[in-house]
Structure 1
Amino acid sequence: MNNQIEQQIQNWFSHFHAHPEISWNEIKTTAKIASILDELGVSYKTFSDVTGVVAEIGYGTEVVAVRADIDALWQEVDGVYQANHSCGHDANISMVLGALLYLQGHSLDKRIRFIFQPAEEKGNGSMAMMERGAVDDVTYLFGIHLRPVEELPFGKVTPSIHHGAGVFCEGKIVGGDAHGARPHQGKSAIDVLVAIHQFIKSIYESPFEPYSVKLTNMHAGGESLNIIPGTATFAIDVRAQSNEVLTRLQEKVSAGLTSIRTLFDVDMSYEWSDYTPAAEVSEDAASLADAAIREVVGQEHTAPAVITSGSDDFHFYTIKYPSIKATMIGVGANLSPGLHHPNMSFNRDALDIGARTLAATVLQAAIQQSPGLE
């Protein structure tokens, strides 16, 4: 039976890997998940205005939830821009569906909810699911994600991933074009960009707090090389291991951009977008995952918590609903060269390990007594 489930997980992965769809456009992915649930006889609901699926098995008033993100990235692969599952969300879908298969044979006195969430890469898919009731009555919430080889080798599994916080700043500079021979007649946007670059290099926080601030996009000028451009756009990526440090960095960046705008006497507009909070990991949820990992792969393959500078909108669920006890399980898969690399690959045997671990974790949570009950 287990061999059949493992093969089914591999088949699902092959399908989702071959059919990636970018954020908010996971139409065929949503339809495929729904058809799989139909075949399994699992009740679910989809939505008329957004992609994604929410399914349930079991009975009872309490809900233990599992989340899988379903979107792919848009990136250049071998010279061609295309949707690409280089973050491993195809693996996440397959592991969660596999966990559902492993759970179907158990008698459950709590409802187990499976949230197939769109648009994690946009940082706001979790908000859309919450607005549509995906975490109503949820007591425990579990996520799962493959980890790069430098964090976890194949066979190792961690009960918690401590993601950092991140946010983007997108801006536009409007000065004035000038002839290359007459720079005094314009207001160079390139000078402003250089000033922004120099400024963000002067932002400091405690070296004991991981953080980074860097320009990730700049565009100015056209084909004519004798025109000093007055207009430019830019983007800044800001990250920190804690939500508090990220807030301070945002304040410093905003203050600096305001000062630069005044110094160069240009129009400059900017806005913050795609904020993703740092992890708020529940010790109770992580403890349940830890016990499940030891049961499935043994103590020697149970890894400590992973602290990573990456971010994930999974953590919005606990920011918005602090009563939910949540953790994200990390699965070692010898993943390389790294997440978001266009040619990312991993040991696919990790998929069944992840599915069995997730199912065991959910069972651990499902037998927990309700608060106040003996």
Structure 2
Amino acid sequence: MKETIGQIKAELWDIFDHLHRHPEISWEEWRTTDFLRQELEREGYRVRTFADCPGVVAEIGNGPLAVGVRSDMDALWQEVDGVWQPNHSCGHDAHMTIVLGVAKLLRRIGYEPPGTLRFLFQPAEEKGTGALKMIEKGAADGLTFLYGVHLRPIQEVESGYAAPAIIHGAAQCIEGRIRGMAAHAARPHLGVNVIEVGSAIVQELGKIHTDPQVPASIKMTKFHAGEKDANTIPDYAEFALDLRAQTNGAMERLVEGLRHVVNGVAAIYGADIELTERTRIVAASPDYEAQQLMEEAIIAVLGADKCVPPVVTPGGEDFHFYSFKKPELKTTMLGLGCDLRPGLHHPRMTFRRDDLLSGVEILARVVMNTFAKVSPQGEKEHASVAANH
């Protein structure tokens, strides 16, 4: 298998360079969709795209056991060298390269899955809504296993190492509006100052307590009030809150505590406070069997000493909606070390490119091992392919 990876290495670098040079933000990944479609059709996959949204689903083989591999597609909107533009600083260009590399590798070594092998290229992960759309489109229907991959920053996993699961936390963005009463700044007793109301909310957030053994945080990340006049008590403000929790239960308690805070502050100040909940990302719940299969693949490629425990991270990932919405689906994400620095979402994020090849081999092996574990026919096919490659 390593020999074949070496043979397609230059092709994979061309793919990565193309994707990196042509980033597209969430829900606008149309050129990316077309590029992936052409590459997958060239390899003989049955490919499906959608008229109303970006995204690609590709299959090969048939049978009751269906194994899937998923990649996200979208870039971030960031300022780079003074210019706002789409930018792949979360590694989604690398993820697409890895997953497309798996699709190509398995075809080049002549692997025929004893079941259905499906690849999902999903839009809008950064918005937290892409996985939900793919589920709505039936992209996960009939799958038994679904594997994902995400590059890990050097602070979590070093180059040459990998983790069989990423334990992402739950994430929630909540937007708010405060309506008070305008007044002359010389007569504050006649008004309701929305800045004071916002300050009170910030102070009370620190009094929301959850289980101290479960990481959780809530903080205000945006606040706007007042306009040009400095001698007027402002009567309208907008704000945003970022909520993080390692479990879905802790997130529920954070949201409940926030509602109590807002109701209390509104009553004290006589203000009207309205909250709008945006998409909530659910916490990870990797399947034990899928995690074990991923661990075996990591050990086969990198060695037992390079397989690290599952990574616990406060970041969020909409990949976990697949198992949340379909509890029967067995999922886990490969956490791939690649010397990624200075960090995810930094506009100048870099990583060690050769580690992507390890990601390709690990995911290819976990696909083959998954089919082999559940089907005698798959075990025979796996043994034959492994002996020849």
Q: What residue number does 1:99 align with?
A: 102
Separation in structure 2 between the aligned mates of residue 301 and residue 97 of structure 1, nearest angstrom: 24
**Counterparts in 2 of 1:78 and 1:192: CA distance versus 1, 3 Å:** farther
Q: What residue number does 1:357 align with?
A: 362
Q: What residue number does 2:230 align with?
A: 225
Q: What residue number does 1:139 align with?
A: 144
Shift in Å at residue 223 of structure 1?
A: 2.5
Shift in Å at residue 368 of structure 1?
A: 2.5
2:145 alignment partner, SS class:
strand
Q: What residue number does 2:31 align with?
A: 28
What percent identity do the matched residue pairs reach?
Answer: 45
Look up the equivalent residue of 1:38 and give its one-letter code.
E
Q: What residue number does 2:12 align with?
A: 9
Look up the equivalent residue of 2:112 and give its one-letter code.
S
Look up the equivalent residue of 1:289 and give its one-letter code.
M
Q: What residue number does 1:65 align with?
A: 68
Q: What residue number does 1:39 align with?
A: 42
User: Which of 306, 323, 329 is residue 328 of structure 2 equivalent to?
Assistant: 323
Shift in Å at residue 16 of structure 1?
A: 1.1
- Pick which of 35-44 and 287-296 moved more: 35-44
- Pick which of 258-267 and 350-359 moved more: 258-267
Separation in structure 2 between the aligned mates of residue 165 and residue 108 of structure 1, nearest angstrom: 34
Q: What residue number does 1:305 align with?
A: 310
CA contact (8 A) 1:9 1:351 kept: no
Look up the equivalent residue of 1:191 and give its one-letter code.
E
Separation in structure 1 between the aligned mates of residue 357 and residue 5 of structure 2, nearest angstrom: 9
- Pick which of 168-177 and 221-230 moved more: 221-230
Look up the equivalent residue of 1:147 and give its one-letter code.
R
Q: Deviations over 1:303-349 (max 9, x none)?
A: 11111111101111111111111100010011111111111111111
Q: What residue number does 2:114 align with?
A: 109
Look up the equivalent residue of 2:218 and give its one-letter code.
V
- Pick which of 8-17 and 238-247 moved more: 8-17
TM-score, normalised by the number of residues in structure 2: 0.93
Alignment of 1:184-203 (within 5 A): 184-203=189-208
- Pick which of 131-140 and 198-207 moved more: 198-207
**Counterparts in 2 of 1:370 and 1:169: CA distance versus 1, 3 Å:** farther
What is the root-mean-square deviation of aligned Cα atoms in Å?
1.7
Look up the equivalent residue of 1:155 and give its one-letter code.
G
Unpaired stretches in structure 1, ≥5 consecutive residues: none
Look up the equivalent residue of 1:138 and give its one-letter code.
L
Separation in structure 2 between the aligned mates of residue 134 and residue 200 of structure 1, nearest angstrom: 40
Separation in structure 2 between the aligned mates of residue 166 and residue 2 of structure 1, nearest angstrom: 37
Separation in structure 1 between the aligned mates of residue 82 and residue 198 of structure 2, nearest angstrom: 28
Shift in Å at residue 370 of structure 1?
A: 6.1
Alignment of 1:45-56 (within 5 A): 45-56=48-59
CA contact (8 A) 1:10 1:351 kept: no
Q: What residue number does 2:301 align with?
A: 296
Shift in Å at residue 207 of structure 1?
A: 2.3
TM-score, normalised by the number of residues in structure 1: 0.96
User: Which of 246, 250, 265 is residue 270 of structure 2 equivalent to?
Assistant: 265
> For this pair of structures, how many residues does the alignment match?
373
Unpaired stretches in structure 2, ≥5 consecutive residues: 380-389
